[in-house]
């Protein structure tokens, strides 16, 4: 076991630490050197010294936290190899949101892949997940229960369009996480042939503009600004939190929809007062998680944020060595 | 089944009444017979099989899944049918066409209870997630989609362009899958012919009297009656045959031969079912001994003799009195009962009063056995099915309250399944060693706001002593003010007492647990 990566990759209060290169992956507190898998708030934070990530992730961080949200930054393309101290780092697509990457860490003849958040199905707004063979695979477990089986995207988008047909005089408010989910829903609507203007809550504007700037075409978009009364029969996108606040009042008899993997469980959907649940997730469902363990083929699996117990049980049954990594600071994802 | 599942799915999530009506009408329009009829039956409690027990569903699920993963999933989802529906392994392509609702109902009608799970397993393989959920809920009972029978009938009325009264009137003479009803609504035939003589007639219900409402009403427009603490029933008697119904139309005559077996007259009466022994009305708990049974023993008839106290008359012979004003019906009722002279049936008297102050004084004094408060009825109001606003009010007496300590919490059902919202609470007594101990005195599910609920939920998770499945015992620290209608003795409870209709009134954050009430205090509230 001389090559056990545990000797050079450990959990510290700040996050997952690579001693061989003296850097962290997705640290939850400011550190001197960080590799960031993607732009979601529980992975990307402001205030690090040196940051290494994809160009898209860096652009997203700047849009969220400001131009000077780090000491210095280095953009890395997929497949490029960077030496940091005694460790070699490269990034591979994770299929989660635009710019999302898996961090591939090599040292001492051993390889660890920190997958960050990922999914396996096609996403028209970002590059698809690529399995990288390794010795240790660090996986998320947001939807790691066999009850989570995300249905086909097209069917969920059809539900929204059907509802527009049945209630042509009601505004359809679609709650979707501002980074990734919102743009994906818009793209999927376009693919389904919906070409009307889609209206945006203020919190989504900057990221939609950024996506367009990075080459993801979203079609005609307009801010809601001003009158809400004339939005009968239109689609209005907003962050999930806005569905239940005062902002949502004033639209004509709104249908509240929410795009999230959590919508799979009825009680969760009803708790949020959602009328039209759309099961659309940027995280791997149970089948994707378990398939990925086999695709990657790492003898050791470390499991982070989510339902570690169930995935660890599955992995052990399937012959992997599996354990839960208790990282601090990861909440049950709103980005579900 | 696909359409039915979609219908269920949409109804579950849809809040607005008009949106629900639109969804139902669309379903009736686009779904063929007999499927739509069976769906209607399911929505109006006309299709209750309870063919699948929770144990049978668990067995099916566990045979097809890893037990550890099933347990973790069930823990998370909190509902057996939903967990099973979601976790059920799915083939790439569904084997064969999805079963139709009518096909499922037919097959089960020809199947023994023991063999039902086998069929269900096959259907689960042919359905998608929402289909599986709808199937399991349908067969386990407990399809809760927020559609009352009344709303379903309103949707039928709108769909067929008929008055809802006509549908209500026929309703209890119709049977699923309602082919004749739909033929009529679709305009293909005339209204179904139904013999209504001993049928249930939809009852008229009262609205609670709101604070200050009395002052907006003229006392001379109203008559007052006692509000009895029994159950509302309708006795429909004709040509020596009599049927006794609950207010929702369930027939309970066979369990009450001391009423239904003695009604040898022609009339439809509205009244309260009570237990009366040696000339005295007994507390509700005595009546409870006779409820929920299919038949009755000689001992029960002797110990808990049933009594009917009538307050309205809907038919006298062939004459439909429902369109007549209250005063006319009352005169008919008094004449009818006086002429009858039976000891198991009497008239609920009017409570005379001059003005609202006088009536309020009477109301303040009502805390006798069997009296729950007052009813106010407009003298000029006809007997209108449903709960019309204005003609009838119920004015319930103030509840009793006690300060109790939260002991156990259980995850709720429905909307609240992820929150600890079902509470068992206790009061103090002296334990065997003389030290004070808490014993459970009741359990309540409702009566708190969502904000309170979240706060308590968080507290429970932080103050758990032990977990037993979905139940947690907690540090005895939170004092709840519990309101209830009455207290009665109970052998099933360690404390020896049980509350009727307990609900959480408020959180007593100001009160330390040691100062909560004692069991003796509650026991002193027992009536009769
Ligand atoms: Zn993420
Ligand atoms: Zn995450």
pLDDT of residue A48: 97
Q: Indicate whether B263 and B135 sit together in one domain.
A: no
Nearest CB to A310 within list B22, B23, B69: B69
Average pLDDT over residues B38-67: 87
In a domain, B305, yes or no: yes
Ligand with smallest separation from the Cα of A329 = 2
Nearest in space to B192 (alpha carbons), one of B206, B177, B205: B177
Angle A123-A125-A130 (CA atoms, 0-180°, nearest 5)?
Answer: 55
In a domain, B155, yes or no: no
Nearest CB to A269 within list B13, B26, B77: B13
Buried b (16+ CB within 10 A) or exposed e, B5-21: bbbbbbbbbbeeeebbb
In a domain, B178, yes or no: no
In a domain, A108, yes or no: yes
Q: Taking 90 as the threshold, does the pLDDT of residue B188 lie above it?
A: yes
The tokens for B59 are: 């067995």
Nearest CA in chain A to B6: A159
pLDDT band at B179 (very low <50, low <70, confident <90, very high): very high
Put simply, the answer to whether B14 touches A271 (Cβ < 8 Å) is: no
Ligand 2 geometric centre to CA of A65 (Å): 18
As averages over each run of 10 residues, the pLDDT of chain A (336 residues) reads 79 93 95 97 95 98 94 96 96 98 96 97 97 97 95 95 92 96 98 97 96 97 90 96 87 93 87 89 97 96 90 96 76 55
pLDDT of residue B218: 95
CATH, residue B83: 1.10.3260.10
Whether residue A218 contacts residue A208, with contact meaning beta carbons closer than 8 Å, is answered with: yes
Whether residue B7 contacts residue B131, with contact meaning beta carbons closer than 8 Å, is answered with: no
Q: Average pLDDT over chain B, rounded to whole?
A: 88
**Is-above-0.80 flag for pTM?**
no
Put simply, the answer to whether B65 touches A271 (Cβ < 8 Å) is: no
Put simply, the answer to whether B73 touches A166 (Cβ < 8 Å) is: no
Nearest CB to B13 within list A148, A149, A274: A274
Buried b (16+ CB within 10 A) or exposed e, B292-330: eeeebeeebeeebbbbbbbbbbbbbeeeebbebebeebb
Q: Where among B380, B396, B412 does a domain terminate?
A: B396
Q: Chain B within 8 Å of A291 (Cβ-Cβ)?
A: no
Q: Chain B within 8 Å of A317 (Cβ-Cβ)?
A: yes
Q: Indicate whether A164 and A34 sit together in one domain.
A: no
Range with the lowest mean pLDDT among B56-60, B103-107, B425-429, B461-465? B461-465
Q: Indicate whether A101 and A25 sit together in one domain.
A: yes
CA B451/CA A140 separation, integer angstroms: 32
Per-residue pLDDT tens over the stretch B330-347? 999 999 999 898 999 999
In a domain, A329, yes or no: no
CA A224/CA B173 separation, integer angstroms: 54
Contacts of B334 (CB under 8 A, 6+ apart): B347
SS3 B189: coil
The tokens for A43 are: 């992975």
Cβ contacts below 8 Å, chain A against chain B, sum to 74
Put simply, the answer to whether A146 touches B69 (Cβ < 8 Å) is: yes
Q: Indicate whether A24 and A99 sit together in one domain.
A: yes
Q: Average pLDDT over chain A, rounded to whole?
A: 93
Q: Indicate whether A51 and A85 sit together in one domain.
A: yes
In a domain, A336, yes or no: no
CATH, residue A65: 3.60.15.10
Contacts of A269 in chain B (CB under 8 A): 13
In a domain, B11, yes or no: yes
Q: Indicate whether B349 and B410 sit together in one domain.
A: no
In a domain, A165, yes or no: yes
Average pLDDT over residues B253-276: 94
Q: Indicate whether A25 and A172 sit together in one domain.
A: no
Angle B136-B11-B130 (CA atoms, 0-180°, nearest 5)?
Answer: 35
Whether residue A257 contacts residue A172, with contact meaning beta carbons closer than 8 Å, is answered with: yes
In a domain, B449, yes or no: yes
In a domain, B190, yes or no: no
Q: Indicate whether A12 and A97 sit together in one domain.
A: yes
* Count of domains for chain A: 2
In a domain, A332, yes or no: no
Buried b (16+ CB within 10 A) or exposed e, A120-146: beebebbbebebbebbbbbbbbbbbbb
pLDDT of residue A330: 52
Angle B195-B201-B205 (CA atoms, 0-180°, nearest 5)?
Answer: 175
pLDDT of residue A306: 80
Put simply, the answer to whether B72 touches A310 (Cβ < 8 Å) is: yes
CA B178/CA B41 separation, integer angstroms: 8
Which domain covers residue A85, as residue numbers? 5-147+283-324
CA B207/CA A138 separation, integer angstroms: 61
Put simply, the answer to whether A145 touches B73 (Cβ < 8 Å) is: yes
Interface test with B, best of A141, A142, A144, A146 (most B CBs within 10 A): A146
Q: Taking 90 as the threshold, does the pLDDT of residue B291 lie above it?
A: no
Q: Taking 80 as the threshold, does the pLDDT of residue B480 lie above it?
A: yes
pLDDT of residue B271: 97
Whether residue B375 contacts residue B224, with contact meaning beta carbons closer than 8 Å, is answered with: yes
SS (H, E, C) chain A: CCCCHHHCEEEECCEEEECCCCEEECCCCCCCEEECCCCCCCCCCCCEEEEEECHHHHHHHHHHHCCCCEEEEEECCCCCEEEECCEEEEEEECCCCCCCEEEEEEECCEEEEECCCCCCCCCCCCCCCCCCCCCEEEEEECCCCCCCCCCCHHHHHHHHHHHHHHCCCCCEEEECCCCCHHHHHHHHHHHCCCCCCEEECHHHHHHHHHHHHCCCCCCCEEECCCCCHHHCCCEEEECHHHHHCHHHCCCCCCEEEEECHHHHCHHHHHHCCCCEEECCCCCCCHHHHHHHHHHHCCCEEEEEEECHHHHHHHHHHCCCEEEECCCCCCCCCCCC
pLDDT of residue A2: 44
Per-residue pLDDT tens over the stretch A174-195? 999 999 999 999 999 999 999 9
Residue A25 has, within 13 A of its CA and on its CB side, a CA count of: 30
CATH, residue A257: 3.40.50.10890
Q: Taking 70 as the threshold, does the pLDDT of residue B421 lie above it?
A: yes
* Residues on chain B bordering chain A, Cβ-to-Cβ distance under 8 angstroms: 12-16, 19, 22-23, 26, 65-66, 68-69, 72-73, 76-79, 82-83, 86-87, 90, 129, 133, 414-418
Backbone angles phi, psi at A303, to 5 degrees: -115, 130
pLDDT band at B90 (very low <50, low <70, confident <90, very high): confident
Q: Indicate whether B239 and B366 sit together in one domain.
A: yes
Q: Where among B396, B430, B455 does a domain terminate?
A: B396
Put simply, the answer to whether B73 touches A310 (Cβ < 8 Å) is: yes
Q: Indicate whether A126 and A164 sit together in one domain.
A: no
Q: Indicate whether B409 and B391 sit together in one domain.
A: no
Q: Indicate whether A315 and A293 sit together in one domain.
A: yes
Q: Indicate whether B429 and B391 sit together in one domain.
A: no
Quickly tell me which residue has 């309020």 as its tokens. B360
CA A185/CA B473 separation, integer angstroms: 44
Put simply, the answer to whether A146 touches B26 (Cβ < 8 Å) is: no
Ligand 2 geometric centre to CA of A43 (Å): 6
Contacts of B82 in chain A (CB under 8 A): 265-267
Q: Indicate whether B224 and B276 sit together in one domain.
A: yes
CA A160/CA B363 separation, integer angstroms: 54
Q: Which residue has the higher pLDDT, B197 or B25?
A: B25
Count of helix runs (H) and strand runs (E) in chain B: 19, 20
β-sheet with B371-378: strand ranges across: B207-208, B392-396, B371-378, B222-228
> How many residues in chain A?
336
Q: Indicate whether B358 and B383 sit together in one domain.
A: yes
Q: Indicate whether B273 and B314 sit together in one domain.
A: yes
In a domain, A334, yes or no: no
Nearest CB to A309 within list B66, B72, B90: B72
Q: Is B473 left (phi over 0), alpha (psi -120 to 50) or beta?
A: beta
Q: Indicate whether B413 and B372 sit together in one domain.
A: no
Q: Where among A278, A295, A312 does a domain terminate?
A: A278
Contacts of B416 in chain A (CB under 8 A): 267
pLDDT of residue A335: 63
Q: Indicate whether A102 and A215 sit together in one domain.
A: no
Q: Indicate whether B379 and B233 sit together in one domain.
A: yes
Q: Indicate whether B407 and B353 sit together in one domain.
A: no
Q: Where among B122, B140, B158 does a domain terminate?
A: B140
Separation in Å, CA of A311 to nearest CA in chain B = 9
Ligand with smallest separation from the Cα of A28 = 2
In a domain, A55, yes or no: yes
SS3 B263: coil
Put simply, the answer to whether A166 touches B90 (Cβ < 8 Å) is: no
CATH, residue B228: 3.30.470.30
Nearest CA in chain A to B417: A267
In a domain, B279, yes or no: yes
Q: Indicate whether B332 and B216 sit together in one domain.
A: yes
* Count of domains for chain B: 3
Nearest in space to A103 (alpha carbons), one of A117, A116, A118, A122: A116
Which domain covers residue B318, as residue numbers? 207-396
Nearest CB to A265 within list B16, B77, B415: B77
Contacts of A258 in chain B (CB under 8 A): none
Q: Taking 60 as the threshold, does the pLDDT of residue B415 lie above it?
A: no
Q: Indicate whether A220 and A241 sit together in one domain.
A: yes
pLDDT of residue A1: 43
Separation in Å, CA of B426 to nearest CA in chain A = 29
- State the alpha helices, DSSP H only, in B241-389: 257-260, 284-288, 298-303, 326-340, 356-364
pLDDT of residue B89: 92
Average pLDDT over residues B176-184: 95
CATH, residue B510: 2.40.50.140
pLDDT of residue A325: 85
Contacts of B61 (CB under 8 A, 6+ apart): B70, B83, B84, B87, B88
Q: Which residue has the higher pLDDT, B383 or B171?
A: B383
Q: Where among A261, A278, A295 does a domain terminate?
A: A278
pLDDT of residue B104: 93
Q: Chain B within 8 Å of A266 (Cβ-Cβ)?
A: yes
Interface test with A, best of B73, B74, B79, B82 (most A CBs within 10 A): B73
In a domain, A86, yes or no: yes
Per-residue pLDDT tens over the stretch B107-138? 998 888 888 999 999 999 999 888 999 999 99
In a domain, B179, yes or no: no
Contacts of A273 in chain B (CB under 8 A): 15
Put simply, the answer to whether A149 touches B65 (Cβ < 8 Å) is: no
- Share of residues in chain B with pLDDT > 90 (%): 48
Give the number of other Cβ atoms within 10 Å of residue B490's Cβ: 15
Separation in Å, CA of A160 to nearest CA in chain B = 12
Q: Indicate whether A135 and A25 sit together in one domain.
A: yes
Q: Indicate whether A18 and A142 sit together in one domain.
A: yes
């Amino acid at each position: 076991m001389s090559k056990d990566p545990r000797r050079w990759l450990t959990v510290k209060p700040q996050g997952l630490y690579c001693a061989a290169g003296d850097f962290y992956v997705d640290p939850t507190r400011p550190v001197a050197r960080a590799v960031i898998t993607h732009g979601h708030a529980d992975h990307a934070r402001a205030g690090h010294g040196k940051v290494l990530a994809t160009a898209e992730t860096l652009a997203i961080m700047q849009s969220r936290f400001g131009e000077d949200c780090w000491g210095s930054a280095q953009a890395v393309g997929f497949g490029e190899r960077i030496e940091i101290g005694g460790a070699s780092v490269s990034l591979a697509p994770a299929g989660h949101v635009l710019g999302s990457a898996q961090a591939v860490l090599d040292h001492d003849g051993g390889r660890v892949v920190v997958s960050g958040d990922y999914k396996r199905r096609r996403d028209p707004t970002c590059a698809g997940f690529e399995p990288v063979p390794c010795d240790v695979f660090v996986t998320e477990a947001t939807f790691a229960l066999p009850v989570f089986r995300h249905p086909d995207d097209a069917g969920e988008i059809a539900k929204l369009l059907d509802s527009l047909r049945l209630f042509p005089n009601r505004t359809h408010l679609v709650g979707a996480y501002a980074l990734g989910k919102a743009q994906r829903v818009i793209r999927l609507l376009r693919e389904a042939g919906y070409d009307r203007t889609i209206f945006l809550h203020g919190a989504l504007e900057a990221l939609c503009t950024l996506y367009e700037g990075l080459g993801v075409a979203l079609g005609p978009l307009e801010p809601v600004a001003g009158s809400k009364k004339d939005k009968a029969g239109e689609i209005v996108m907003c962050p999930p939190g806005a569905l239940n606040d005062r902002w949502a009042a004033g639209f004509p008899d709104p249908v509240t929809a929410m795009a999230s993997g959590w919508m799979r469980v009825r009680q969760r959907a009803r708790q949020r007062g959602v009328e039209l649940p759309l099961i659309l997730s940027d995280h791997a469902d149970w089948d994707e998680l378990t398939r990925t363990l086999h695709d990657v083929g790492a003898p050791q699996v470390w499991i982070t944020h989510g339902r570690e117990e169930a995935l660890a049980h599955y992995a052990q049954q399937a012959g992997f060595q599996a354990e839960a990594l208790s990282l601090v600071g990861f909440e049950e994802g709103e980005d579900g | 089944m696909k359409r039915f599942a979609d219908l269920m799915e949409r109804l579950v999530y849809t809040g607005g009444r008009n949106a629900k009506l639109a969804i139902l009408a669309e379903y009736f329009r686009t779904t063929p017979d007999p499927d739509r009829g069976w769906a209607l039956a399911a929505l109006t409690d006309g299709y209750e099989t309870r063919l699948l027990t929770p144990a049978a569903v668990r067995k099916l699920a566990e045979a097809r899944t890893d037990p550890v993963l099933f347990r973790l999933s069930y823990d998370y989802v909190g509902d057996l049918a939903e967990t099973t529906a979601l976790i059920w392994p799915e083939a790439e392509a569904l084997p064969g066409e999805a079963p139709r609702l009518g096909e499922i109902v037919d097959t089960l009608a020809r199947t023994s209870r023991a063999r039902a799970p086998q069929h269900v397993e096959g259907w689960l393989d042919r359905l998608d997630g929402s289909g599986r959920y709808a199937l399991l809920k349908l067969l386990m009972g407990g399809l809760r989609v927020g559609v009352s029978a009344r709303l379903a009938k309103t949707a039928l009325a709108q769909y067929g362009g008929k008055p809802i009264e006509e549908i209500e009137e026929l309703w209890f003479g119709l049977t699923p899958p309602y082919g004749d009803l739909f033929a009529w609504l679709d305009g293909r035939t005339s209204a179904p012919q139904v013999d209504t003589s001993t049928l249930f007639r939809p009852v008229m219900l009262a609205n609670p009297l709101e604070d200050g409402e009395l002052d907006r009403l003229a006392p001379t427009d109203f008559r007052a009656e006692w509000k009895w603490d029994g159950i509302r029933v309708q006795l429909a008697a004709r040509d020596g045959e009599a049927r006794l119904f609950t207010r929702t139309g369930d027939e309970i005559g066979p369990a009450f031969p001391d009423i239904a077996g003695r009604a040898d007259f022609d009339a439809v009466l509205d009244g309260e079912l009570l237990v009366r022994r040696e000339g005295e009305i007994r507390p509700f708990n005595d009546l409870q001994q006779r409820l929920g049974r299919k038949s009755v023993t000689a001992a029960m008839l002797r110990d808990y003799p049933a009594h009917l106290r009538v307050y309205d008359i809907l038919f006298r012979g062939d004459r439909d009195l429902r369109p007549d004003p209250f005063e006319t019906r009352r005169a008919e009722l008094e004449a009818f009962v006086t002429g009858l002279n039976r000891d198991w049936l009497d008239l609920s008297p009017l409570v005379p009063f001059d003005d609202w102050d006088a009536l309020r004084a009477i109301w303040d004094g009502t805390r006798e056995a069997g009296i729950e408060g007052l009813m106010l009825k407009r003298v000029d109001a006809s007997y209108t099915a449903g709960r019309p606003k204005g003609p009838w009010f119920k004015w319930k007496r103030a509840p009793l309250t006690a300060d109790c300590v939260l002991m156990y919490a259980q995850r709720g059902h429905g909307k609240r399944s992820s929150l600890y919202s079902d509470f068992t609470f206790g009061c103090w007594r002296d334990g065997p060693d003389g030290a004070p101990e808490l014993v459970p005195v009741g359990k309540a599910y409702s009566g708190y706001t969502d904000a309170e609920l979240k706060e308590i939920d968080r507290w429970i998770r932080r103050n758990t002593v032990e977990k037993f499945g979905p139940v947690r015992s907690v540090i005895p620290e939170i004092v709840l003010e519990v309101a209830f209608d009455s207290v009665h003795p109970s052998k099933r409870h360690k404390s020896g007492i049980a509350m009727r209709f307990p609900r959480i009134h408020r959180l007593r954050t100001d009160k330390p647990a040691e100062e909560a009430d004692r069991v003796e205090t509650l026991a002193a509230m027992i009536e009769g």
